[in-house]
Structure 1
Amino acid sequence: MIPDLPGNIDDIKGFLADDEAAALYRHAAEASQCGPVLEIGSYCGKSTIYLGLACRQNNATVFALDHHRGSEEHQFGEYFHDPALYDSGEGLMDTFREFRRNIREANLDDTVVPVVAGSEATANQWQTPLAMVFIDGGHSLDAALTDYRCWTAHLMRGGILAIHDLFEDAHAGGQAPFAIYRMALASGLFADLGRVNTLGLLRRL
């Protein structure tokens, strides 16, 4: 049972299964006793809410990093495109308004710090050690590799690395998240904490 979970959580746009959400909450509740959590790829804030509720217990912070222009699969004409999140005047996706509304309604404005920027540009200036990094950003190989290489260096020892959307079968989903998950396992820097559905969990050694 997750305390203070908004009654509308199932209506918030997102791609997080219930068992994955519970695992994120559990690991963030543990990790945030040691420091802040970084989420890469917040979309409309569904996963951010689970992370935020966990961090709020420890007076910790979630940095929610997303340019809010949508991943490759969210663009106009693509399979996961949502017309309700498309700014026709700009000709661009814009998930930030929806994200802010969902975070505000969950009473997490004092816990969640939005970072509206690209992953690499932000990482280049980052100074704060992180207790947990959740990678759920762009699913191209380029984007996934950038997220992994830029942010694992900021993860403190004992910290949690979580990677979403792991599919061994290319017919079931994109392969980039699974590729960086295998890289992490092969690096010798992480202990395998197992998987929950399509969520991979590792601990920095």
Structure 2
Amino acid sequence: MNNTPTWYQMDHIANLVNEDLHDLLVLATTNGIKLQKKSGTITVHRNDLTRLFEEISRDVPRRRHVLTKSLLPHLDLPWAKALKGIYEEDAAWPASMSPQQGEFLRSLIQNINPKKCLEIGCFIGASTLWICSALEDCGNNGILHSVDLYGDKMPFKHIKYMFLLDALSYIQKRLDEAELSHRNIQHVGHSHLVGSQYDKLIGDELDFLFIDGDHTIEGATGDFLLYEPHLKKGGYLMFHDIYPEVCGWDGPAHVINSIIAKQPGKYQFVELDTAPQNYGISLIKKIAK
């Protein structure tokens, strides 16, 4: 079921981009963007969001992931070209996994050769393509299950240009370009809802689990407790954004420190620094059920 809103409240958008509401209304009307009052609140139609954010961010300098420090510019392969396209999007920085982190993830998958993988949180598809490209190279029937709301990606931390409409269609397009659609199954919905139907939707145990969704303590803990029991003995779990002082989120670190680190007979884990932003990665091996 598609829960994407048709109308977006302008006061909410003003808060997201840290702009005065009155100034934002003037900007919209000056540029011919139609507004409509609904239930006492001024709203903008979803079809006009792209134009609105283009005007909001017109004079804002863009930041990008630096591809020259990765292998991507040197690879003339469909998956590499698709990933380069993702990293060229305004929405990619800083929330998308960096190319350096992506190369680590891809190498990990190539080494552990998993048959069934699951990621929670896809954003605009960078991690999805890194994992699927590695599964393709492994040459087996490996599949990645991806769980996300797949809605419109709105500005984050007042980064005014970080916007992308319809993440699901966008990711599917990039997977087609990468010739990797056969490696990915998308589950559209809240991770807790999908997890509650795990046996029906996903089935067998996991070889690799990547948790990168809701980064709050409640969200990360809930995802771990719901999906970790489906990770087989000898399987690997990875958390992204484990350093709260850098990434601004406490959830992944809480799970590692409060649950995983307190069960040394069940897990082996290491925390890794990452580049260019040291948000950190934790790699965990499940050594006992």
What TM-score comes out, normalization by structure 1 length? 0.83
- The structural deviation recorded for 1:172 is 4.4
Q: Report SS of the residue matched to 2:80.
A: coil
Q: For 1:109 and 1:85, how far apart are their aligned partners in 2?
A: 21
Q: Sequence identity of aligned pairs in percent?
A: 20
- The CA deviation at 1:47 is 0.6
- Secondary structure of the structure 2 residue equivalent to 1:113: strand
Shift of 1:31: 3.4
| 2:148 pairs with 1:66 | yes
Tell me which residue corresponds to 2:183. 111
Contact 1:32/1:132 (CA < 8 Å) preserved in 2? no
Identify unmatched segments of 5+ residues in structure 1: 87-93
Q: How is 1:126-165 mapped onto 2 (pairs within 5 angstroms)?
A: 126-127=198-199, 128-165=204-241
How far has the Cα of 1:8 moved from its partner? 4.4
Q: How far apart in 1 are the matches of 2:155 and 2:247? A: 22
1:56-205 alignment, distance < 5 Å: 56=136, 57=138, 58-69=140-151, 75=154, 78-79=157-158, 84-86=163-165, 94-127=166-199, 128-169=204-245, 172-182=247-257, 183-188=259-264, 189-197=266-274, 198-205=280-287
4+ runs deviating over 3 angstroms: 1-5, 30-33, 74-84
User: 1:125 deviation in Å?
Assistant: 1.9
CA RMSD of aligned residues (A): 2.4
What's the TM-score, normalizing by structure 2? 0.60
Q: Give the CA deviation at 1:145.
A: 1.0
Where does residue 103 of structure 2 map in the other structure? 22
Helix, strand or coil for the counterpart of 1:186?
coil
Tell me how far apart the structure 1 counterparts of residues 263 and 189 of structure 2 sit (CA, whole Å): 28
The answer as to whether partners of 2:241 and 2:247 remain within 8 angstroms in 1 is no
Q: Structure 2: where are the runs of 5+ without partners? A: 1-70, 87-91, 275-279
Deviation at 1:85, TM superposition (A): 2.1
Higher relative contact order (CA 8 A, sep 6+): 1
- Could you give the per-residue CA deviations for residues 113-158 of structure 1, whole angstroms, max 9, x where no partner exists? 1111211111122132000000110112221111111111110111
| Residue of structure 1 equivalent to 2:61 | none
> Residue 42 of structure 1 corresponds to which residue in structure 2?
122
Residues 44 and 102, structure 1, Cα contact 8 Å, conserved in 2: no
Please identify which structure carries the higher helix content.
2
Corresponding position of 2:81: 7
- The structure with more radius of gyration: 2
Specify the alignment match of 2:57 in structure 1. none
Determine the structure 1 residue equivalent to 2:30.
none
> For structure 1, which segment, 23-32 or 145-154, has the greater mean C-alpha deviation from structure 2 after superposition?
23-32
